[in-house]
């Protein structure tokens, strides 16, 4: 018997709301809604300006600071400032492969 193999690449297709839920960010309502940089929502129209890139290391540091916060409210405010949710991601160790 001859079998044909058609290799392919799995593609995750998401709309804006699903993508925000997938990456644990707050989406369009966040102070920093851009998934690539830390542009504030009031500066999104400034397309020629350069903003600090959103890296895995910088977001891990934000999560560490939130985990060390004195209260849940303080932790939530830290995360909210960067547009993140306090969610355990099962593939966090592989996040460096996605960026």
Taking the chain (99 residues) in consecutive chunks of 10 residues, what is each chunk's mean pLDDT? 75 67 66 82 87 86 90 89 73 49
State the Cα–Cα distance between residues 96 and 60, nearest whole angstrom.
11
Q: What is the pLDDT of residue 92?
A: 55
Q: What is the pLDDT of residue 99?
A: 42
Q: What is the pLDDT of residue 83?
A: 80
Instruction: State pTM to two decimals.
Output: 0.59
Helix axis angle, 56-67 relative to 72-81, nearest 10°? Answer: 160
Q: What is the pLDDT of residue 26?
A: 64
Rounded to whole angstroms, what are the CA distances from 18 to 12, 22, 48, 78?
A: 11, 6, 28, 23
What are the backbone dihedrals phi and psi of residue 37, each rounded to the nearest 5 degrees, phi first? Answer: -140, 175
């Amino acid at each position: 018997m001859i079998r044909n193999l058609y290799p392919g690449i799995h593609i995750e297709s998401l709309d804006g709301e699903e993508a925000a839920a997938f990456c644990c960010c707050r989406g369009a309502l966040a102070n920093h809604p851009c998934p690539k940089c830390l542009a504030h929502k009031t500066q999104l129209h400034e397309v020629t300006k350069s903003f600090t890139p959103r890296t895995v290391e910088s977001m891990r540091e934000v999560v560490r600071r939130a985990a060390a916060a004195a209260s849940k409210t303080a932790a939530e405010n830290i995360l909210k400032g960067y547009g993140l949710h306090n969610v355990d991601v099962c593939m966090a160790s592989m996040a460096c492969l996605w960026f």
